[in-house]
Every structure is written in C-alpha cells, then in structure tokens.
C-alpha cells in the first residue's frame, strides 16, 4: 500500500495567524512572521492553506521598484473561525419574539437584556474610581464575552477596540442591540465620561472602536 504524503509541520498554528489578522487587520507574510518570531516561509505555508479554504485572500500593494507586496486579509467566511455566541439560536429567538409580540415586544426584551448587562458591568467596576481602571475592567469583560477587546490610549482619551462581534448576525437582525450597547457602556463607565462609536462592524468596518472621553 503506498504511503500517504504528510504535510510538513507548520509553526505557528493556523488559528494564531487568523487571530493576528483579526486583531491587526491586513498584513504581509513578513509582518506576521516578525510578530511571531518565525520565518516568512513558515507563515506562508499557513496562508496558502487558509486561502485554499477561503478564509483569507491576498491583494497586491505597490512596493517601489520591486515586486508588489502581498497583503493578506480575512474574508467573510473567516467569521466561522471565531466565537459566534449561538447566533443561530439568537436569530431564531429574535424572529419568534418579533412574530409573537411585534417590534415593541422585541424592544422590551432587548432593553431588559441591556439592563441586566449594565448591572453586571457596574458590579465589576465597583471600587474602581479611575477612568483607566474602569476602561480596563470593561475591556476584560468584553473579551470574556468573545469580543476580542483591547484598550488603548489616544492622547487624553481611551479607545475600546472590539476586533470581533460574536453576536453580529443577531445585531444585523435587531439593530437595537448595538444602539443599547453604546448606552450601556456610557452608563457603566459613569456620568463623568462620554462614549462615542467611531468604527462599526455593521457599517462595514473590520472592528468596532469606541472613544471614551473624560467629561
């Protein structure tokens, strides 16, 4: 019986490459390799496999007089590689509630969910007087919920960056989820802050970005 050809061991893992593209946006194989501390060839082996599966795609970026640089980015199909928070069930429930109770009934259910979420967030932020500490706690909570959240400082402001939306399909079906989420952040962080959404996945951005200012 002929031996089955085995693929060479690949380092780092495919999931790590996908995660870096999710968090950092489109990048070259060289940039990914530098971040991971491996050779560009090791990364390219993953990239070619991921491209064959339709999870990533390449575009060419002019690079002076030399060859164009290949830039790799996630496709819409890559969403299946990240947490989806039972979106199929969520969509079914949204449709059922809308059908039985109408838009007003659905709004009441979403608002109740937001109230519960706000109570939980405030509980985790209790005792944290500094805005930086509250932003850090909110970031940790959102990451735990599957949003791949990070925080950054931008001058005197803070940025809450969510690289993934585990309820994206549900949010598309009921935009009140996103509307309420912004208000929940505002109320949880306190009256001495102002929160605005600068990037929005539902509007076509690759991530959601919230600017948090001290009022």
| Burial class for 8, CB neighbours closer than 10 Å (0-12, 13-18, 19+) | exposed
| Under-50 pLDDT residues of the chain | 1-11
The pLDDT score that the predictor gives to residue 86 is 64
Q: CA torsion 212→109→206→39, rounded to 10°? A: 100
The pLDDT score that the predictor gives to residue 13 is 75
pTM: 0.71
3-state helix, strand and coil shares in percent for the chain, rounded to the nearest 5: 55, 20, 30
Q: Where are the domains of the chain?
A: 14-76, 87-214
Domain 87-214 CATH superfamily: Trafficking protein particle complex subunit 3 (3.30.1380.20)
In CATH terms, the fold of domain 14-76 is: Arc Repressor Mutant, subunit A (1.10.10)
């Amino acid at each position: 019986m002929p031996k089955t050809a085995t693929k060479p061991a690949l380092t780092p893992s495919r999931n790590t490459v996908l995660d870096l593209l999710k968090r950092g946006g489109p990048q070259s194989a060289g940039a990914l390799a530098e971040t991971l501390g491996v050779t560009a060839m090791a990364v390219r082996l993953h990239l070619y496999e991921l491209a064959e599966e339709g999870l990533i795609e390449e575009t060419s970026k002019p690079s002076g007089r030399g060859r164009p640089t290949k830039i790799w980015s996630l496709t819409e199909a890559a969403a299946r590689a990240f947490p989806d928070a039972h979106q199929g069930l969520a969509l079914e429930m949204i449709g059922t509630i809308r059908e039985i109770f109408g838009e007003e009934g659905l709004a009441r259910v979403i608002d109740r969910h937001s109230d519960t979420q706000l109570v939980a967030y405030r509980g985790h932020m209790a005792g944290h007087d500094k805005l930086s500490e509250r932003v850090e706690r909110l970031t940790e909570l959102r990451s735990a919920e599957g949003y791949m959240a990070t925080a950054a400082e931008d001058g005197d402001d803070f940025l809450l960056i969510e690289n993934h939306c585990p309820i994206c399909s549900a949010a598309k079906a009921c935009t009140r989820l996103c509307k309420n989420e912004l208000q929940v952040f505002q109320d949880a962080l306190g009256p001495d802050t102002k929160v605005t959404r600068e990037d929005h996945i539902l509007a076509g951005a690759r991530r959601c970005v919230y600017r948090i200012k001290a009022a």
